[in-house]
Amino acid sequence: MHVVFLHGPPAAGKHTIGQKLSELTGLPLFHNHLAVDTAKSLFAFGTPGFNRMRATLWRAAFAEAAVAGQSFIFTFNPEATVDPGLIEDLCQIVRERGGTVYFIELKCSPAAIAQRIGNESRKAFGKLTDPELYKALDAKGAFAFPPLPEALLVVNTDELSADSAAERIAQAIAGAGSVRAGT
């Protein structure tokens, strides 16, 4: 059982690349906003109730997948409302069942973020789409997060299309331990 843990700033292409990677590998995509949107249906973003509910949903998804031996792709935006210890908890859930978490870091320039943040595709998920709000939140430390575990691969999404990025990720994971559809 493997988790491909795509992480990066807003508008780095996590969902788009995750979809392309899912098509290439046959692995399902557990997009971060599935839990975010569920928690937001009851609580305002960043409130204690929201944070607990999102963490519970993530833990449940990782645990059920690990028990079933279901590999998947997960997207994550490192930001200050997430308890940093949660990432180790999620990894431990996978490792306890003999699985592996492959961290893949997506990077992009501030100029690319500014250009992409208002894209229509982001609006469909209720994502942050206001460039000025993004800048204000960033200046206040909203995206501050301790370093994640070492990435198997770092992808600069300024330089690669989503298709090319997904292909590189699939190759890196195949080389690290072969991920097959449905495993």
Can you name the residues that pair with 145 across neighbouring β-strands? none
Tokens of 119: 């894209």
Please name the amino acid found at residue 39: A
The DSSP secondary-structure symbol of 144 reads -
As a whole number, the mean pLDDT across the chain is 89
User: What top-level class would CATH report for the domain 2-177?
Assistant: alpha beta
Q: Between 91 and 109, whose confidence is greater?
A: 91
Cα Rg of the chain (Å, integer): 16
Q: Is the pLDDT of residue 149 over 70?
A: yes
Would you call 80 exposed, middle or buried from its count of C-beta atoms within 10 A (0-12, 13-18, 19+)?
middle
pTM score, whole prediction: 0.88
Per-residue pLDDT tens digits for 14-54: 999 999 999 999 999 999 989 999 999 999 999 999 999 99
CB 91 within 8 A of CB 101: yes
Query: Does residue 106 sit in helix, strand or coil?
Result: strand
For residues 115-133, average pLDDT: 70
162/158 Cα distance (integer angstroms):
10
Tell me which of 124 and 30 has the higher pLDDT.
30
The answer to whether the Cα torsion of 34, 168, 153, 114 is positive or negative is negative
